[in-house]
Each structure stands twice: as C-alpha cells, then as structure tokens.
Structure 1
Amino acid sequence: MSISYLWDITIPMLQGAKTTILLFLLVILLSIPLGFLVTLMMNSRVKPVSWLAHGYVYVMRGTPLLLQLLFFCFGLPMLPVIGEYLVLDRFAAAGLAFILNYAAYFAEIFRGGLLAVDKGQYEAAQVLGLSRWQTLTRIIMPQMFRVALPAVSNESITLVKDTALLYAVSVPELLHFAYTAVNRDFTIVPFVVAGVVYLLMILGLTVLFKALERKFKFE
C-alpha cells in the first residue's frame, strides 16, 4: 500500500464527504426549527393540533429511517393520482426524509427541555407583565436550549453517521466511494479511510458542541 494509493482513494471520498456535510447542514438548519415548532404544537391547548403533532412524532420515531428514505425516494411517485407530481431529485427526497425524521427527535428533546423549566418562571413572567410571546422567547427558550443542548449534540453526531444511509438510495456520498474502491481493489483499506474521515467530522462536531456547552456554563 503506497501513499499514492491512499491519495487516489481519499480524493473521491472527500468529494463524497461534501454530500455528507451538505446533507448534515441542510438537516440541522431545517429540522431544529421544525422540531421546535412541533414541540409548540404538542403543547398546544387546541387538542386536534396537539394530537396531530403527537401522531407525527410517533410515526417518525416509530418507523426506521431507512424505511422512510425508501418511501420518499421510491414510494411517493407511486401514490395514486398525485404520485406524478411528487417525483423528486434523489438527494432532495432523501433530505426531506432526514429533515422530517430528525425534526421528530428534536421535538422530543425540546419537549423535555420545556418540562425541565420550573413553572415558577412562567408565574414570574406573568408578574412582570410579559406577554406569552415575550415569556417564551426571553425566558423559557434560553433555559430550554441550555437543558437540551447536550441531547442536541448527541443527536447531531448520530446524524453524521446516519448520512451513510444515502448509500441505500444510490446517492453518491462518502460510503459509496469507499465501497466502490473496496470492490474494485479487493482491500478493506478504503473502509478504514472512510472511518477516519467520519471520525474527523465527528471530532469537529464534538469540539464545537463542547465549546457551546462551556459558553452556556455546562462545565
């Protein structure tokens, strides 16, 4: 095994890692606010809204992410009547599945964060004459996010690893190029290189979230 061989297999995998990182950023940027919205819906006083949100979370957390990926990539176009209008680019379909799946998990994380906020905070906000929106944005949300941050960190790291599922729907990402090299060269070295790339991405995330935790005085 030469340095040139390692270089030759690493370059395509780094190209695939761009897809991995793009999906990660897309999911994080969209699923976190969507998850918080679902959390608010779950706590809504309007029962149909609350039931709908709870049902959504139950379905998305109760079925495998791989099944959801296959449904969005291959199942949507097969729906009667509307299927022809739901044909999406493979990456877009996979991204939609990831966003909806992770939004459900983030919704549960944020719900736990809300439950951890002392009820006296709400009463104090009422005494100060704050509106419900001011109470939520200025008092409740900052405390909720501090509590939820470690769980969000863990879920984000899981997301990096879950992006490998793109391989199952033929989206060329990091694992795709590693597996191609293994089949071509009959060696496990590309798998080792892919593992190192994943570990480096997760190391970067870990350092970032540790810094955020220190900022919010977790340590």
Structure 2
Amino acid sequence: MSMHYVMEILPSLFQGAGMTLKLFFWTLLGSLPLGILVSLGLTSKFRPLQWLLELYVWLMRGTPLLLQLIFVFYGLPIIGIVFQRYDAALFSFILNYGAYFAEIFRGGFQSIDQGQYEAARVLRLSYGQTLRKIVIPQVVKIVIPSIGNEVINLVKDSSLVYVIGLGDLLRAGNVATARDVTLVPLLLVGLIYLILIGICTFILNKVEKRYSYFK
C-alpha cells in the first residue's frame, strides 16, 4: 500500500465521510424527537391516533429501508413529488428510524410504574413537568442500550444512500476502487466506518454512565 496513493484518495474519502456524518447527525436530530412523540401517541387513549401511528410504525419496520429510499427518490416523482438526493435520503431515514425509536421509547415509557405519575400529580406537577423531571430521565436510562444499537446501525445503514447516487463515504470508495482497480479505497472505507462506530460507542458509554444513577 503506497502512502502516496493513500494521501491522494483520502480527501475524496473524507468528503464522502462528511456527507455520511451529515446524514447521520440530521437523522438523529429528526428521528429521536419523532420517536418520542410517536411513542407518546402510541400510548395515548385516543384510538384513531393510536391506530394511525401503529400503521406508520408497522410500515416503516416491516419494509426494508433500501426499498423506502428507492420509493421516495424514484417512485414518488411518478406522482409529482420530487426530492433532491440528500433530501430523499434524510426524509427516508428520519421516517424509518423514527419508527424504530418509537417502539424503543414506548417500551421505556411502559416500564415506568404508574405510581410515579400519581405521585407527581400529588406534588401538583404538570404532565410536561412529570415527563421532563421524572419520567424521561428514567426512560433514557432504560432505552440507552437499544438506542445505542440503532445508532450504530444508522452509521452502517447510511451506506444505503449509494443506491440513489448520493456521494457518501461508500460511494467515494467505490469510485476510487473502480477507477484505480485496487482494494485499498475499500479497506480505508472500512477503517473509517470502524472509527466512526468506535466514537459512537465511546459516547454512548459516557451517556449511559451519566444516567447510571437512575436504577
């Protein structure tokens, strides 16, 4: 492996990694709040809303993310709904991961004893205050391992955007491999993914320790 060649292709790989990270961060920023809101809707007593959200979760979890990407970018234009590549990817990822996070958070909320809600009412806390000060910190502690798994999956799933031609890390590696007929770019791509996942794992472990006082 020539260091000169490695230094030559690294800028394009880093550029692709930048797109991967951009998609990763904005997906998390959109899907985590969406997951919390959907999970609250799933546990609501308003049946029509609950059924609608259950249908959404069922569709997103029951079909491959790759199919959803293709449907949004290549299928929706048939009926006049057109997305740019990045927008199509972000929209698909947020909807998909929002559904998975919703199921995770629903399990977390359902694990909280109802007595805590009753105690909060005795203390005259509003529903919002109860969620913010009592429930959500405990839910976060409960769901961190599952959320962590999905976060790591998100790093790897980001490579699926290659199918719609978005210039992510994997696409940059494939272009270099096809052009130069060498496996070096793909090896570097794998190394970068491992580094990204290692960083995510480190951060998630820190977050888990931060909430370790909730038993």
TM-score scaled by length of structure 2: 0.96
Between the aligned partners of 1:128 and 1:3, the Cα distance in structure 2 is 65
CA displacement at 1:125 relative to structure 2: 1.4
1:101 is the counterpart of 2:72: no
CA displacement, residues 86-139 of structure 1 (integer Å, 9 cap, x when unaligned): 212111011100000000000001011112212221221122222222222221
- For the residue of structure 2 that corresponds to 1:187, the secondary structure is coil
Between the aligned partners of 1:148 and 1:41, the Cα distance in structure 2 is 18
- For the residue of structure 2 that corresponds to 1:87, the secondary structure is coil
Match of 1:33 in 2: 33
2:154 to 146, 156, 159: 159
Say if 2:137 and 2:211, in contact at 8 Å, map to a contact too. Answer: no
Match of 1:146 in 2: 141
Between the aligned partners of 1:151 and 1:218, the Cα distance in structure 2 is 18
Identical residues among aligned pairs (%): 46
* Superposition misfits of 4+ residues, deviation over 4 angstroms: none
State which drifts further: 14-23 or 123-132: 123-132
CA displacement at 1:141 relative to structure 2: 1.3
RMSD across aligned C-alpha pairs, in angstroms?
A: 1.3
Letter in 2 for 1:10: L
1:113 to 98, 105, 108: 108
- For the residue of structure 2 that corresponds to 1:59, the secondary structure is helix
Match of 1:208 in 2: 203
Match of 2:78 in 1: 78
Between the aligned partners of 1:2 and 1:41, the Cα distance in structure 2 is 55
- Cα pair distance change 1:191/1:147, threshold 3 Å: same
Match of 2:49 in 1: 49
Between the aligned partners of 1:150 and 1:33, the Cα distance in structure 2 is 17
Aligned length: 214
Between the aligned partners of 1:74 and 1:93, the Cα distance in structure 2 is 9
Match of 1:9 in 2: 9
CA displacement, residues 160-200 of structure 1 (integer Å, 9 cap, x when unaligned): 00000011110011101111111112221111100000011
Letter in 1 for 2:16: G
Match of 1:195 in 2: 190
Between the aligned partners of 2:192 and 2:151, the Cα distance in structure 1 is 16
- 5+ long unaligned stretches in structure 2: none
TM-score scaled by length of structure 1: 0.94
CA displacement at 1:218 relative to structure 2: 7.0
Say if 2:20 and 2:158, in contact at 8 Å, map to a contact too. Answer: yes
Letter in 2 for 1:186: V
CA displacement at 1:67 relative to structure 2: 0.3
CA displacement, residues 51-96 of structure 1 (integer Å, 9 cap, x when unaligned): 00111000000000000000111111112xxx1xx21211101110
- 5+ long unaligned stretches in structure 1: none
1:180 is the counterpart of 2:175: yes
